[in-house]
Amino acid sequence: MSEHVLVTGGAGFIGRFVTDELLARGNRVRVLDSLIPQVHGQVDGSKMLSREAELIRADIRDGDAVAHALTGVDSVIHLAAEVGVGQSMYEVERYTSTNDVGTAVLFEKLIDRPVRRVVTASSMSIYGEGLYTDADGATVEDADRPNLRDGLTQWDPTDAQGRPLVPMATPEWKRPALSSIYALNKYVQERTTHIMGAPYGMESVCLRLFNVYGPGQALSNPYTGVLAIFASRLLNGQRPMIFEDGEQRRDFVHVTDVARAFADALTLPEAVGGTFNIGSGHHRSVRDVGIELARAMGKNDCEPEIVGKARIGDIRHCFCDTTLSQHRLGFAARQDFGEGLAELAGWVAEQTATDNVAQMRAELEKRGLVA
């Protein structure tokens, strides 16, 4: 089925791959993107965007521009958002305005210009801590680390008796535990999508993305994905900086797999009304990932710098249970992680980047957001 698809935020890292995937499937694509300097200053999304895509440069909060962008459109993939857990904790108005108000503007304009389906990008951050089991085998949905500011030697959550909890793959049924403004924003985007869909005759789908990586991320943006941040450090001869002890575990999924998931979610009947995890189904420690990327970039002498402090709003472990997305979307990640790192390293070697990680840490510490 070929359609005219609007991709908001379509000139960003994920958006460009989604656009290419949609075009490859025979769709017409219109992109609405504001090309903000924090994301596009180092990687010009407009220049990397396919020439087959139509670009409208405008803010998602600009109602007139959104209405114009929706003209003649059959479906929408909504990616436009400010991204970054740490920054969201002190640029609260900016994040909430772009993410929540921007989504509200989009759906308000969709009332008069309804489309067949809207697929919205959400985030694993809405889970807070992932799912755990305790020493008795009971499932724990509300694991918490309330004493981060006291200086921990034990970073992992424990139960009321002080026994360590064991992390498990996190399924969609886990209740949200919103530990940052960004997480709150993404949950609002999810609920807005589902609340506004059916009453106006539109199908709704939300995809909760885990740690997306691949070539084309904004290397100079210290609030982007962890692998891009590590790559920027290594490219500038610096060691990757890792908070806590580096043993926190995450699920890394390649951007081409994510793009395929969005394109499938736009068409599959089984996706309607659903919210789905999109990850690789494998978990790795952040420290190991930093070491592997350094090796892929030929920087074997750049062992990660373990900070031993926590960022307020960060979580310990969260990785992806892919059962539902496999069952309903037929989704399974295809990209081998080692091959994906090699591809990323090859792309990074041809780039230049400003290492802004120290500035990011200073901003967080100034506001008391590093424990």
CATH of the domain at 246: 3.40.50.720
Domain-embedded: residue 371: no
Domain-embedded: residue 63: yes
Domain-embedded: residue 287: yes
Q: What is the pLDDT of residue 238?
A: 86
Structural domain that includes position 148 = 4-366
Domain-embedded: residue 91: yes
Could you give the residue numbers annotated as active site?
182
Q: What is the pLDDT of residue 311?
A: 76
Domain-embedded: residue 189: yes
Domain-embedded: residue 69: yes
Structurally, how many domains does the chain consist of? 1
HEC assignment per residue over the chain: CCCEEEEECCCCHHHHHHHHHHHHCCCEEEEEECCCHHHHCCCCHHHHCCCCCEEEECCCCCHHHHHHHHCCCCEEEECCCCCCHHHHCCCHHHHHHHHHHHHHHHHHHHHHCCCCEEEEEEEHHHHCCCCEECCCCCEECCCCCCCHHHCCCCCCCECCCCCECEECCECCCCCCCCCCHHHHHHHHHHHHHHHHHHHHCCEEEEEEECEEECCCCCCCCCCCCHHHHHHHHHHCCCCCEECCCCCCEECEEEHHHHHHHHHHHCCCHHHCCCEEEECCCCCEEHHHHHHHHHHHCCCCCCCCEECCCCECCCCCCECECCHHHHHHHCCCCCCCHHHHHHHHHHHHCCCCCCCCHHHHHHHHHHCCCEC
Domain-embedded: residue 93: yes
Domain-embedded: residue 304: yes
* Residue pLDDT tens, the chain, 371 long: 799 999 999 999 999 999 999 999 999 999 999 997 666 565 555 677 889 999 999 999 999 999 999 999 999 999 999 988 888 888 999 999 999 999 999 999 999 999 999 999 999 999 999 999 999 999 999 998 766 654 556 788 988 888 889 999 999 999 999 989 999 999 999 999 999 999 999 999 999 999 999 998 877 666 667 888 888 888 888 888 888 899 999 999 999 999 999 999 999 999 999 999 999 999 999 999 999 999 999 988 888 889 888 877 788 999 999 999 999 999 999 999 999 999 999 998 888 767 655 665 566 555 555 55
